[in-house]
Structure 1
Amino acid sequence: MAPPHLLPTFNKSEFYPPLERFEYTDPAARAITLPDSEQRAFLKNATRVRNLTPGIGTEIVGVDLTSLDGPARDQLALEATRRGVLVFRDQPKFLAQTGDQFREWGNHFGRLHIHLTSGHPPSIPELHIVYRDASTVNLAHLSRISSTFWHSDASYELQPPGITTFFLLAQPSSGGGDTLFVSQVLALKKLSPPFVVFLRTLRAVHSGMLHAHNSRAGRRSGGGKVVRRDPVEHIHPVVRKHPVTGEEALFVNQQFTTHIVGLKREESETILGFLFNHIAHVADAQVRVNWEPNTVVVWDNRMTSHTAIADFAEPSERRHGARITPQAERPISALESLELS
């Protein structure tokens, strides 16, 4: 049975004003000032730490996330930035928390985002619920060959999400429903230096307009037909820089990036089409996360993209998850002189 306090609801009278800009302090900035030997102290009780691939993804067993204090969470944020994705196994206590406890966890990493259209529990609007069963078919997938749809969450916001937490409360008994992640850092490094120099000069529009339109039309999973804020679009650099590590990453995605500013349509479509295809097929920069029971995944949404895989044996099977989504800084351009207004 799904926990009743974590089921999605859709209140059509719920509406919020535009998000205001806020000063963001990256928790990883505190951890990186520690001696190298202390930057991963949050792993001291781990019984297994295993890199899932050389470049992205680490599986961690034996660390109780509910026991981590502020400095340990800072270290976790730094590790998530460096490894892209952290997969914590055996976390029943984390999944059993109250709404206030989920809020407290998320607020450590940034201001919590309330999703534009997705369902949320009635008393926890900051908890983004992913829910699919026989009664909730995503119509957008019915005319597509593949269920994969690469994206960085809410990249259309002025300050998109950063250190993000997701967990499943129910998953198909027949298996399936894994999540693929790609390191946009590694994806950028695969490109030739002259092309990267060119990409650093580009800006792209990220838009939430289609998100809102699909919700109003009943094409979003759950069919809630709600839009909680006026949808927005913002200009972000095609190559962004992490504020703590200085790592550069591609920052475009198939779901929300609509066009490149200043280029003609054919030019923009060609470049974005190449980058979207590169992100989707650069297998040596990807990791596949299997959702064992009581798994919690933490990732840096600024430096990765991801996609769910709807490969259930029975399409009617239930997949129920929750996401805690703290916002981060406005994307910093890898090219300091790039104008983003």
Structure 2
Amino acid sequence: MATATVETITQNLPTLSLRSSPTDGQEQSEEPYRYAHLLPYFSPETYPPLTPFEHIDPASRALSHSNPRSFLDNATSVTELTPQLGTEVRGVSLAQLDSDARDQLALEVARRGLMVFRDQEEFLESGPDFYRAWGRHFGRLHIHPTSGHPQGIPELHLVYKDANTTFNYELEGSLSTTVWHSDVSYEQQPPGLTTFFLLSQPTTGGDTLFTSQISTLKKLSPQFVAFLRTLKAVHSGVEQAEYSRSGKRGGVVRREPVESVHPVVRRHPVTGEEALFVNRQFTRRIVGLKREESDNILRFLYDHIDKSADNQARLKWAPNTVALWDNRITAHSAIVDYAESKERRHGARITPQAERPIPALEGLQLDD
């Protein structure tokens, strides 16, 4: 898609409006979209390759705290979504957390995989400068190579779909919209703690599925896990870039795609937990195996991830909800089941990068 066409699409997006319900027999009136300033923009600006950096996980600072869950002391409810994955919290304002409490939050996300905070209007209304400052507490902010972002705010990754437009990654001709992935796992230093919220959402549908990659690994036999620890796999951003180059999702590629080799089983740097680290969207092959061997092992692992509902949690969005998850130990998928309603789903993601994945098998070399 040519840049001029992309810019035309972007310029048209802010004209989208919300219709209020008619009252007293009056005709419906149009109102400006409240978050028009955060609609997708597809800048033609390009970026150089990412450079390595040292990541210090803020969760490690909370380990020495006398009560690393004290940031939840004033919560009105703390509910585990499943035994192994996910906690829902009410009564805690994320926007009010100080640096120490944010460290504790990072540790709790590392332990639970997913944290869902309801009634976070103050967070959503704090704006882009706050979003960036929030994300930088947890790591270096990632700028997505192909997705839309608000104009002038490249660090805010957007997902967007309405009645006429989609800038999501959607596979046409597939039986399911479920695509399990860990965000941009093709980067040499993929994300750690991620923050995501919806600015606009359908009345029903548009949920997000999560799975614990710690639990999926633990379900496997010890002998098979021991074998998986010896393996490393290629994660690739090439297909995602080509998807954009074909004119979809905004049609820009700001940074040339990369491929990285990661351990199939990684170790969390703070909790020490081991997690499966392959995903259907970005993992392409297992290094050193013949194609048929690699394909069969990966297909088995993907099917295990897909079908293991006992490792999964489903997030039903509500206004002013903020979700935080640890990309190192979870995978997730959006559910695009609301297309026929023609309603808008507009989400924003703050994506700090973390360390290069640490192999669960000590001594496993990733660069050879």
TM-score bucket (shorter structure): over 0.9
Q: Distance in 2 between matches of 1:32 and 1:250?
A: 24
Match of 1:134 among 154, 160, 163: 163
179-188 vs 133-142, greater mean Cα deviation? 133-142
In the TM superposition, what is the alpha-carbon distance from 1:11 to its structure 2 partner? 1.5
Could you tell me which residue of structure 2 aligns to residue 149 of structure 1? 179
Following superposition, the deviation at residue 313 of structure 1 comes to: 6.1
Deviation of 1:169 (Å): 0.5
TM-score, length of structure 1 as denominator length? 0.96
2:78/2:88 contact within 8 Å kept: yes
Q: Which has the larger radius of gyration?
A: 2
Q: What runs of 5+ residues in structure 2 fail to find an aligned partner?
A: 1-32
Q: Which amino acid aligns with 1:167?
A: F
- Contact residue 217 and residue 276 of structure 2 kept, 8 A: yes
Following superposition of structure 1 onto structure 2, how do residues 1-341 of structure 1 map, counting pairs within 5 Å?
1-12=33-44, 14-35=45-66, 38-137=67-166, 140-173=170-203, 175-220=204-249, 224-312=250-338, 314=340, 316-341=342-367
Determine if contact 1:140/1:219 at 8 Å carries over to the other structure.
no
SS in structure 1 of the partner of residue 160 of structure 2: strand
How much does 1:337 deviate? Answer: 1.4
* Conserved? CA contact 2:163–2:339, under 8 Å: no
Give the whole-Å Cα distance in 2 for the aligned partners of 1:82 and 1:50: 15
| Native 8 Å contact 1:176 1:313 kept in 2 | no
| Structure of higher RCO (CA pairs closer than 8 Å, 6+ residues apart) | 1
- SS of residue paired to 1:314: helix
Identity %: 65
Deviation at 1:140, TM superposition (A): 4.1
Contact residue 86 and residue 114 of structure 2 kept, 8 A: yes
Q: Report deviation, 1:33.
A: 1.5
Letter in 2 for 1:152: S
Deviations 1:251-294 (CA, angstroms, capped at 9, x unpaired): 00000000000000000000000001101111111000000111
- Deviation of 1:2 after TM superposition, in Å, equals 4.3
CA–CA separation in structure 1 for the residues paired with 2:48 and 2:169 = 29
State the alpha-carbon separation in 1 of the partners of residues 351 and 185 from structure 2: 12
**Cα deviation 1:187-212 (Å, max 9, x = unaligned):** 00000000000000000000000010
Q: Deviations over 1:162-190 (max 9, x none)?
A: 000000011112x0000000000000000
Q: Is the 8 A contact 2:195 2:349 kept in 1?
A: yes
Distance 1:3 1:326 in 2: 23
Deviation at 1:336, TM superposition (A): 1.0
Change (3 A) 1:312 1:140: closer
Residues 1:69 and 1:314: Cα distance change in structure 2 (over 3 Å): same
Letter in 1 for 2:365: E
CA distance in 1: counterparts of 2:109 and 2:34, whole angstroms? 29
TM-score relative to the length of structure 2: 0.89
The residue identity in structure 1 corresponding to 2:207 is D
Distance in structure 2 (CA, Å) of the matches to 1:212 and 1:320: 22
- 1:14-71 alpha-carbon deviations (Å, 9 max, x no partner): 1111100001000000001222xx1101101100000011000000000000000001
Letter in 2 for 1:219: K
Aligned-partner Cα distance in 2 for 1:114–1:70? 24
Change (3 A) 1:140 1:50: closer
Runs of 5+ consecutive residues of structure 1 not aligned to the other structure: none
For 1:69-110, what per-residue CA distance to the aligned partner results, in whole angstroms no more than 9, with x for missing partners? 001000000000100000000000111122111000000000
